[in-house]
């Protein structure tokens, strides 16, 4: 599966750097082309000539050692790659990448690349569990970086625990499996909605909800990784646009309705995860309302039911809705599934600890019109997004929509 793939292997300064030599050999045997970038510290553990002999490519060590004056070295290497693998990924390099620091050949190339980046951490067990390291890894995960979890066992420092660089054979296997996943939705046009909507009363006041958009953005990020052509219609959120995703910003329920309908007929898979306002003020003001004695009553009117409309207009699309429930989760989910003519629904049990708005995790139930049911226990929204898309791909492939 890696035949012909162009891989940049970044080697940072840890004792596990010796495993990176075997990893280079395994990647070459799998048919990949490999270019190695080493940090100064990594060269204290393994000589660059080792990687040069194994990869049959020059080893990059210094940003300013421009081997070809017609090119900017770190940009050229970043553009050359199909994927970037950082192994071992030390606490130091993870912190630099999370903080946007670019002070050597490896970090400048990492910041310049637009291809998927995989990190295989390796460090002392206590370093791995340090709050700063965990925070940095969480930040990179949210940005779409992929982690190949370290193994557990005897470490060079003498401790036994999690922090050992995964074996080269396993890392190659993970990359091959990930490559397969990238074909999962290749050629599929995916339309996703995310975040809240805002319904204004006047220029400084509006009705909204606590949705952060994290679930929808996780879906968009993973769909893009799976090879899909992704359009994301987003309410107002403070999240970066996932790589490879076409983002359309909206504010109100009406704006979201218009944009979704505009892109609906050309979409194959539609996932409506946005928390759209059900009501909006009947009367709005162009100027700030002044405070006055007594109570103030806001008369509300219904917004358009986007999901219901999509269900009624459904042609070839595989349509997935979301629901937030606190009790009778399956019953309410199936009612919404049938009423809105959906192919599948993801019901979030927001009464569970760690689930619902604002959290990085969810507890969900997957239901389909064909009677399929799958419970997803507490997991990250990124992991849940993968599960939803894998289920969707399977149903699309089976033609069950």
pLDDT digit string (tens) for 112-128?
Answer: 998 889 999 999 888 99
DSSP state of 196: B
Considering only the C-alpha atoms of the chain, give the largest distance between any 2 of them, rounded to a whole number of Å.
82
What pLDDT does 1 receive? Answer: 73
| Termini Cα distance of the chain | 30
**What are the tens digits of pLDDT across the range 169-195?**
999 999 998 888 778 899 999 999 999
CATH 3.40.50.1950 domain span(s) along the chain: 6-181
Band of residue 389 on the pLDDT scale cut at 50, 70, 90: very high
Q: Taking 70 as the threshold, does the pLDDT of residue 49 lie above it? A: yes
Q: Check residue 365 and give its pLDDT.
A: 93
For all residues of the chain together, what is the average pLDDT? 91
Domain 189-398: give its CATH superfamily: CoaB-like (3.40.50.10300)
Mean of the pLDDT values across residues 333-357?
88
Q: Where in the chain is the domain with CATH 3.40.50.10300?
A: 189-398
* Per-residue burial over 336-373, b = 16 or more CB atoms within 10 Å of its CB, e = otherwise: bbeebbbbbbbbbbbebeebbeebbbbbbbbbbbeeee
Fold (CATH) for 6-181 = Rossmann fold (3.40.50)
Q: What is the per-residue pLDDT for 401?
A: 44
Any idea which residues carry the catalytic annotation? 157
Residue 61 has pLDDT above 60, yes or no: yes
Q: Per-residue confidence at 155, pLDDT binned at 50, 70, 90?
A: low
* pLDDT tops 90 at residue 69: no
Residue 57 has pLDDT above 80, yes or no: yes
Model pLDDT for residues 203-227, shown as the tens digit of each residue? 999 999 999 999 999 999 999 989 9
């Amino acid at each position: 599966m890696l035949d012909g793939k162009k891989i940049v292997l970044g080697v940072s300064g840890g004792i596990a750097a010796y495993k990176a030599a075997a990893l280079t050999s395994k990647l070459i045997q799998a048919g990949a082309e490999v270019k190695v970038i080493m940090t100064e510290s990594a060269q204290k553990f393994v000589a660059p000539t080792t990687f040069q002999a194994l990869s049959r490519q020059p080893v990059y060590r210094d940003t300013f050692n421009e081997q070809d004056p017609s090119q900017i070295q770190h940009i050229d290497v970043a553009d050359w790659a199909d994927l970037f693998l950082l192994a071992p990924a030390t606490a130091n390099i993870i912190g630099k990448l999370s903080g946007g620091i670019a002070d050597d050949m490896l970090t400048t190339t990492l910041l310049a690349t637009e291809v998927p980046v995989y990190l295989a951490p390796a460090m002392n067990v206590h370093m791995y569990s340090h709050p700063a390291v965990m925070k940095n890894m969480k930040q990179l995960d949210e940005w779409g970086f992929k982690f190949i979890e370290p193994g557990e066992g005897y470490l060079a420092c003498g401790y036994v625990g999690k922090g050992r660089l995964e074996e080269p054979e396993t890392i190659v296997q993970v990359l091959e499996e990930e490559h397969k996943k990238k074909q999962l939705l290749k050629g599929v046009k995916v339309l996703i909605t995310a975040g809240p909507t805002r319904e204004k009363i006047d220029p400084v006041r509006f009705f909204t909800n606590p949705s952060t958009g994290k679930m929808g953005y996780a879906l968009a990020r993973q769909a893009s990784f799976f090879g899909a052509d992704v359009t994301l219609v987003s309410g107002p959120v403070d999240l970066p646009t996932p790589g490879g995703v076409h983002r359309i910003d909206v504010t109100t329920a009406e704006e979201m309705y218009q944009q979704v309908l505009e892109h609906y007929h050309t979409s194959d898979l539609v996932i409506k995860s946005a928390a759209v306002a059900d009501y909006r003020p009947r009367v709005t003001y162009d100027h700030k309302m002044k405070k006055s004695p007594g109570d103030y009553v806001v008369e509300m009117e219904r917004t358009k039911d986007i999901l219901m409309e999509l269900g009624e207009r459904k042609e070839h699309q595989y349509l997935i809705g979301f629901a937030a429930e606190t009790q009778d989760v399956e019953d309410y989910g199936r009612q919404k599934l049938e009423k809105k003519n959906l192919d599948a629904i993801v019901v979030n049990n927001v009464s569970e600890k760690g689930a619902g708005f604002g959290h990085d995790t969810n507890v969900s139930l997957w239901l389909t019109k064909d009677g399929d049911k799958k419970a997803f226990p507490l997991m990250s929204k990124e992991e849940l997004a993968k599960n939803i898309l894998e289920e969707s791909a399977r149903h699309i492939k089976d033609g069950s929509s």
